[in-house]
Structure 1
Amino acid sequence: MQKLLLKLTVWIAFAGFLAGCGGTSDIGKERAQEIAFSDAGFTEEDVTRLHISRDKEDGEEVYDVEFTAEQTEYKYEIRSVDGDILSVDHEAVQNLEKADKDSFDHNGSFEDLQEQEKMPDAKQQTQETQTQDTDTAAQLTMEEAVKLVLDRVPGASKADLKIEMEYDDGRYKYEGDIIYEQREYEFEIDAATGDFLEWSEERR
């Protein structure tokens, strides 16, 4: 009987050892967030548009930590096993809080976007056509587009929003996203009518 109990005890201990060896350590989302904030020099109160997701990169489990602070968007890739920072990207973003509703130059943007879309040179068009296209291109101002989007996400602010005007498929539209409370909302708005062309929501 004693031998049986001894064997059983040894077997349980060995099984526990194997389970421990087979387990994979993980720093967790909160620790990944702390590492990114510490490296960038910010606290949670300083940032907006925060979202953290787990992914696999080159066979390694990683945490993608993204946030915006001081008009800069940060993207961190952190190894989930030991917390090593594998990559850091940062990019300046527009501050919508300071953007003036009339700061968007329709004429200049119209020509720039035409060139990007490889449309005919604006100089080859008549002045009447240019004026008509410009007037109908963006009846909706940037400020009005921002309000339409924020009205759909109660609690979100301009700090959580990224928006820009694009020319695509023969029309102007506002497109961008809101990241708020671990949800990402993507949208497209017809700049001539104010209608939403696309709206999607994803839980982060």
Structure 2
Amino acid sequence: MKKRIFAAALVCAVLLAALSGCTIQIGGGSESAPASTQSQSPSQAAGGENASTSAPASVGQTADGITEDEAKGIALEHAKVKEEDLTGLRIRQERDDGADIYNVEFYVGNQEYDYEIRVSDGQILQADYDIEDDFYTSMTSAATYAEADARAAALARVPGAADQHIYMHLEQDNGRLIYEGKIVYQQMEYDFEIDAGTGDFISWEQESVFD
């Protein structure tokens, strides 16, 4: 009887051992699933890297600014001077206070214009206007009819007018030196031109200051 009980116990032990081995195998199989899930992560990471590298990069663009010809046009328009009237022109690019500028210089007769224009947007930073004294002096020396005589001749045509009523200057017109002036007296305005070589009146006009 004891042998049968021992045999039965032995059989049960063997069966339990067999069942225990199956459980371990099943557990091993169940644990293998997460491993396969983790194996997908590198591919997903690679896909993420590809997506990030494929995105276009933002590239900033800087404007080139205006050209020398455009700077010249801006200066001439501001001075109300035509290019065909220029007797001299010089344009150079410089850097001033950290900004690129065009220095535009040009001449019209004895008049000198000097502009500083910003390259980036064409804004006028500085504008100067001068009359070259040496040019005017050379013209004055070339005039054979004295300015004082021209003033006296013009005033003689307007009885009562004096020096404080006359405005006159010497200029060159198509290579000809002339005195151009104006007399304002007793509500009348007189415009005249006198040849600086001969003293002859080239023109004489008069009108009311209210016209």
Per the TM superposition, whether the score is higher than 0.5 is no
Determine which structure has greater relative contact order: mean sequence separation of CA pairs < 8 Å that are 6+ residues apart, divided by chain length. Answer: 1
What TM bracket, shorter-length normalisation? Answer: 0.3 to 0.5
TM score, norm. by length of structure 2:
0.38
